[in-house]
Amino acid sequence: MLDISLRVRVHVETLPATQNDMGVCDAFEQYAPVGKPDIMNAPHPSKVAGIDSTVPAPAHTVASAPAGSSPAAPPSPLNAPAAVLQDRLAGWVSDLTTLHELTERLARTHTLTAALEELLHAGAALVGARRGLVVLEPADGLGPDTTVGLGLGRADLGHIETVPRSSLPHGRLLDTAAGLPDGDREITQPDLFAEEGLDPRHREVAARLGFAASYALPLSTGAAGRLGAAAWLYDEPAEPSERRRHLAGLYARYAAEHLARLLEVERTRAYLATMSEELLPSRLPRVAGVQLAARRRAGPRGGGDWYDALPLPDAALGLAVGSVTGSGPSAVAAMGRLRASLRAYAVMEGEDPVAVLSDLELLLRLTEPARSATALFGYCEPAARKITLAGAGHSPPLLIGARRTEFVETSVSAPLGMLACWEAPSVEVHAEPGETVLLYTDGLLHRTGEATDRAFARLHAAAAGVPRALRGDPGAVADHVLRTVLPDGRDATDSEEDVVLLAARFE
């Protein structure tokens, strides 16, 4: 802790000055070089472009004399340097405290969109602007590319994108990634309409949107290179002071490091999601007598829940859902191997679901002894409206119809890989015309956060409450169950649990 005249207390170890490989004292020298006390002792700046500054002004330790009192005696030559130093030091600490608070708020963001929005708000406060935009455009070309605005709607951002890139300050920063020495370059346009050689389209858009000046900073790191650029727009001709530019530069460097970390997380999630989707059926087969629909909600780290539907000989259909323990790339890869193996066994002996799961259990036990999985496989005969089911540690499916909604009673069995030899009897499900058989994974129950019996009761009530108008569409049935069992958007939010639903409606 650092105590200064009992007026200001700040955590030095987290000051953003240390983000730049400099000590606090070095940062102090950079803020106000010796011999320029007037700059640092200047009063709080007035409104910039009609906006009240939210950056704290340097605190002064010399109180002003009350009205009507006699003029105070001038300070002695011995006390004057100490008062100036104390006043200057309080101003430095005030600036660093502001940076500390803003960087803490940024560190609490966990998504790219939230971080970019926080960057815009904090930067606007530091430079005294009201509007701005940040363009995320990594130099490696791997994306994601996006533009986020502050005080600018989609139409406004669209107008700005019609301006030639070379005329926009953030556009020039994005196009000169190799010419950014340590990310310190900045572009200031204090008066757009007085600037000679300004692109006519830029002048037209500025007049339409009502901004007259801009200030832009690059977002780059030594390791990741160029990430993007941010620009703030002033309603009137203006430019940030040297103090404000320095504070904004320090903040932008920290923000770039934070964005680089979030970018890696976002890319990893996207890769896992893509890999999971590619390992699942790109489309469901069309078989006479039955309609199919599937829904999947993957967790942020990628999980092992899967589904499958494949045509079999004699106009039959194989239906399967399952879940592999664990999460992340290894679970996704194991899920792909398990699904591919089940497909092979289903083609060879799909009419006997118990044999299919027995072969799958043996393969899993021999190739991945440290992993277990649950699975439910059904041999569907659409013409007879019949499904022969076998399950391994999996939740029972639901039969949904106009006159009944009930769980299919399956035999209690252990998950695959848990026993030396797995085998359980199969059951047959006979559906009426218009009824739907709903297969699902345990993630649907776990995401409710309730006890198992309550989760099953919630699922049953959701299925029984499907409106009559939706019962003819298996996709609508699955959507209704998802929204009802997991209300308030919990079906779409990030969760450690994957959710898979596979609905088959018989005609």
Q: Which two tokens stand for residue 401?
A: 């119809």
Domain boundary pick from 268, 300, 329 = 268
Which amino acid appears at position 367 of this protein? T
319 & 367 share domain: yes
- Strand residue runs (E) in 222-269: 225-234
Which amino acid appears at position 409 of this protein? E
Bridge partners for 399 per DSSP: 406, 437
Report the CATH number at residue 145. 3.30.450.40
Tell me, yes or no, whether 178 lies in a domain.
yes
438 & 492 share domain: yes
How confident is the model at residue 475, as a pLDDT? 96
Tell me, yes or no, whether 169 lies in a domain.
yes
Rounded Cα–Cα distance for residues 464 and 487 (Å): 16
Rounded Cα–Cα distance for residues 450 and 434 (Å): 31
Tell me, yes or no, whether 398 lies in a domain.
yes
Vertex 106, ends 101 and 107: CA angle to 5°? 95
200 & 306 share domain: no
Return phi, psi of residue 3, to 5°. Answer: -105, 130
185 & 293 share domain: no
H-run or E-run covering 474 = helix 474-485
Rounded Cα–Cα distance for residues 390 and 375 (Å): 8
How confident is the model at residue 493, as a pLDDT? 62
Q: Which two tokens stand for residue 425?
A: 């009897």
Alpha helix ranges (H) inside 189-241: 200-209
How confident is the model at residue 179, as a pLDDT? 45
Bridge partners for 400 per DSSP: 405, 436
236 & 345 share domain: no
264 & 385 share domain: no
Report the largest interatomic distance among the alpha carbons of the chain, rounded to a whole angstrom: 108
Domain boundary pick from 234, 268, 302 = 268
Rounded Cα–Cα distance for residues 305 and 298 (Å): 8
Tell me, yes or no, whether 359 lies in a domain.
yes
Rounded Cα–Cα distance for residues 262 and 324 (Å): 28
237 & 332 share domain: no
Q: Which two tokens stand for residue 393?
A: 């540690």
212 & 303 share domain: no
19 & 161 share domain: yes
**Collapsed DSSP state (helix, strand, coil) of residue 182:** helix
Return phi, psi of residue 428, to 5°. Answer: -110, 140
How confident is the model at residue 301, as a pLDDT? 66
Return phi, psi of residue 52, to 5°. Answer: -70, 130
How confident is the model at residue 228, as a pLDDT? 95
**Collapsed DSSP state (helix, strand, coil) of residue 15:** coil
- Strand residue runs (E) in 259-362: 290-297, 303-312, 316-327
Give burial (CB, 10 Å; 0-12/13-18/19+) of 430: exposed
Please count the structural domains in the chain. 2
Residue 198: CB atoms within 10 Å: 15
Tell me, yes or no, whether 76 lies in a domain.
no
328 & 186 share domain: no
Contact assessment for residue 242 and residue 30, using Cβ atoms and an 8 Å cutoff: no
Tell me, yes or no, whether 23 lies in a domain.
yes
Report the CATH number at residue 296. 3.60.40.10
What range does the domain containing 242 cover? 2-56+85-268
Q: Which two tokens stand for residue 38?
A: 């007037």
What parts of the chain have a pLDDT lower than 70? 1-80, 177-184, 300-302, 412, 419-422, 491, 493-495
206 & 327 share domain: no
369 & 475 share domain: yes
Specify the residue for token string 């398990």. Answer: 338
Contact assessment for residue 247 and residue 95, using Cβ atoms and an 8 Å cutoff: yes
Handedness of CA 474, 477, 481, 482 (dihedral sign): positive
Domain boundary pick from 268, 295, 311 = 268
Alpha helix ranges (H) inside 305-418: 329-349, 353-367
144 cis-preceded (ω within 30 degrees of 0) = yes
How confident is the model at residue 134, as a pLDDT? 96
Tell me, yes or no, whether 154 lies in a domain.
yes
Tell me, yes or no, whether 342 lies in a domain.
yes
127-144: pLDDT as tens digits: 999 999 999 999 998 889
How confident is the model at residue 308, as a pLDDT? 95
Q: Which two tokens stand for residue 172?
A: 């020039």
